[in-house]
Structure 1
Amino acid sequence: MKNGIKILLVMLLATPQVFAKKIRKPTSVERPPQFVLLAFDGSKSNEFWKESMDFAETVPTHNDAKNNLIRFTYFVNPVYYLDKAQKQNYSTPMLDKPVSCIGWEDDKSRIPLRVQLTNAAFLKGHEIGSHANSHCDQSGTDKTNPMYGKPWDESAWDSEFSQFNSLFFNIFKNNKLPEPKQYAPTGLAFKPENIVGFRAPLLAVTDGLWPVLQKYKFRYDTSKHQLLIIGHNAKTGADGTFR
């Protein structure tokens, strides 16, 4: 009996050490990375470009502040890089005339600074994405919108994406401004292929959008409640759009 008690006592004393080796401390639990996407639409306010970039330099994503500062996506509208007097460079799909539901640049002297700030954002590691051009209702369902009753098909979206590149990467030429000394002739520190993210104005989409996103080699869309990934599905071997 005494021997049995001794054995039981040894087992009880040993048990905490045995389990201690199996139980992981809370600090050692491995968690998947969490991604928080922060984006701004528009791009007109030069002051906000400065303010948001300055703010980003003060917010680290974790302890290694120097190399892991927060970064934004700026979804830009090229109509803000186009002087109102030069709006004929754009023809709104389905309307066949220059219509912008968010206006134009009224003072072209502000455009070069906006370009500089856009470049600064890109060079700091922020992303430049597309918010299309006119910012009207591409779904054609808003009765107060000039696009009412004219939902965009694939050809309309294709025209909008083509004109986005034409407007955005010919800013100085379109506005009859002197050719920039830096990053000539476009004045931009990046190329069309660097723009891989899209958000539809008013989040208004139609089925014609998805094949156009693929055509222009966009990698994702944020117009829906789910992030839409565009490209190759490793599981199925298919190319297309995936949520």
Structure 2
Amino acid sequence: MRDFSRRGVLGLGLGAAAAVGIAGCGSPDGSEPGSPGPIKNPRPGEKPAAKAIGDGSTADTGPQPHQPAAPVPLQPGETPPQFVVFSWDGAGEIGNGLFPRFLKLAKDHGAAMTFFLSGIYLLPESKKDLYHPPNNPVGASDIGYLKDENVRNTLKYVREAWLDGHEIGTHFNGHFCGGSGSVGRWTPDDWQSEIDQAVAFVTNWRTNTGFTDLEPLPFDYRKELTGARTPCLLGQDNLLPTAKKLGWRYDASSPGGLQQWPVRRAGIWDLPLQALPFPGHSFEVLSMDYNILANQSKSTTKGVPSNYPAWRTQATASYLGGFKRAYETNRAPLFIGNHFEEWNGGIYMDAVEEALKSMSDKKDVRLVSFRQFTDWLDVQDGRILTKLRELAPGQSPTGGWHTYLA
């Protein structure tokens, strides 16, 4: 059992018990043959379809809709915004309706999110031999494969997410967390292979699935992909050289951080999950649904139902406690990680929904994706960012923002 105290971590993709069926991978350059299928006229509000890429699994439809105005530097003495990033590991629709539920929630409250898509969730299990995971058997996956119907729905909602303005990152593929094949042991070359395959599964889903009646994903994934979160928050040190080579701008895989303004590692913005207040305990808990679960029901995803109401309240209070601490003091960004899972009766989904609703109407709050937050960081004066980093969790700026950032 890992230590889930202040620095303890454990991140998962979609649970193996909920994942069945998927497979397929084409060449990374998109040259595999296959029918492009229809590229239909856009729905109202969508950007018009443009040029199909490769086998028609993806298409260049121009700039992404529903993006914020170009970021500008903070002015001297200006109060920083309170950024909150809600992100989702795996980001597949497994038949429980959670993907569309949170797309609607985001739309209702003007939020952008980051969806870290697992590449094999677009690969039918019948073609799993196309996946060659580093240091693991061909076709192996610790999270299984999706049923074909769930692959179709995942494609539907990933498309909808991008058109709604959300970011599509990557959670890689097979989610190997233990043993000799663990991602924690992978080399930079191993990560390159895993990324190439994840991109190939996304950009060649039409060939691999044989689905010809679905519209393409409306983006060039090789250009859109700018960041990731690794399985179980393992392996970041060897991922970063590869991420830098690929031109990625951030990584969200650091195994636990504090509520402080971020720094770069190896030229990449390091955006970790964070230790948050955990009501009723002397230690803090990592800002991810599974880590709260691990402290409440000891990694059992089906605890005693009579505990669910109190656990839901505790999870919600942890998210809101972390938000309040940052919002009222150092304005450090808040990063919250989730999975489309109904662990312990779905209480963590209820908690994150309640937390988002409570945060969304506060002054200066921006509910953004990791890429949008990185855009903001990149235009800031380095001296201002240095001053922001000097503030510890819960530490207010001396003399107020007008004086502190004068």
What is the deviation of 1:122? Answer: 0.5
Distance 1:54 1:164 in 2: 27
SS state at 1:56 partner:
helix
Which of 225, 228, 235 is the aligned partner of 1:195? 225
Task: For 1:41, give the aligned amino acid.
Answer: D
Choose 1 or 2 for highest CA Rg.
Answer: 1
Distance 1:228 1:98 in 2: 37
Among all aligned residue pairs of Structure 1 and Structure 2, give the percentage whose two residues are the same amino acid. Answer: 27
TM-score (norm 2): 0.43
2:193 alignment counterpart: 159
Q: CA RMSD in A?
A: 2.7
What is the deviation of 1:90? Answer: 0.6
What is the deviation of 1:94? Answer: 1.5
Aligned CA distance change for structure 1 residues 228 and 92 (closer, same or farther; 3 Å): farther
Equivalent residue pairs, number: 188
Task: For 1:135, give the aligned amino acid.
Answer: H
8 Å CA contact 1:221–1:228 kept in 2: the answer is: no
Are residues 1:179 and 2:220 paired?
A: no
1:78 alignment counterpart: 119
Task: For 1:82, give the aligned amino acid.
Answer: L
8 Å CA contact 1:94–1:150 kept in 2: the answer is: no
SS state at 1:198 partner:
coil
Task: For 1:129, give the aligned amino acid.
Answer: G
8 Å CA contact 2:191–2:239 kept in 1: the answer is: yes
Are residues 1:49 and 2:134 paired?
A: no
Task: For 1:190, give the aligned amino acid.
Answer: F
Aligned CA distance change for structure 1 residues 86 and 119 (closer, same or farther; 3 Å): same
Are residues 1:135 and 2:175 paired?
A: yes
Residues 88-147 of structure 1 deviation map (CA, whole Å, 9 limit, x = unaligned): 111111125121110001x2133223212101100101111111111112xxxx4xx462
8 Å CA contact 1:214–1:231 kept in 2: the answer is: yes
What is the deviation of 1:188? Answer: 1.1
8 Å CA contact 1:153–1:207 kept in 2: the answer is: no
Mark the runs of 5 or more structure 2 residues left unpaired by the alignment: 1-76, 270-377, 383-388, 390-406
What is the deviation of 1:148? Answer: 5.2
Aligned CA distance change for structure 1 residues 205 and 211 (closer, same or farther; 3 Å): same
Residues 38-69 of structure 1 deviation map (CA, whole Å, 9 limit, x = unaligned): 1011122251110001111222xxxxxxxxx1
What is the deviation of 1:231? Answer: 5.4
SS state at 2:185 partner:
coil
TM-score (norm 1): 0.69
2:138 alignment counterpart: 97
Residues 163-193 of structure 1 deviation map (CA, whole Å, 9 limit, x = unaligned): 1111111111112x143563xxxx2111121
SS state at 2:84 partner:
coil
Task: For 1:179, give the aligned amino acid.
Answer: T
SS state at 1:111 partner:
helix
SS state at 1:162 partner:
helix
Distance 1:179 1:76 in 2: 21
Aligned CA distance change for structure 1 residues 37 and 148 (closer, same or farther; 3 Å): closer
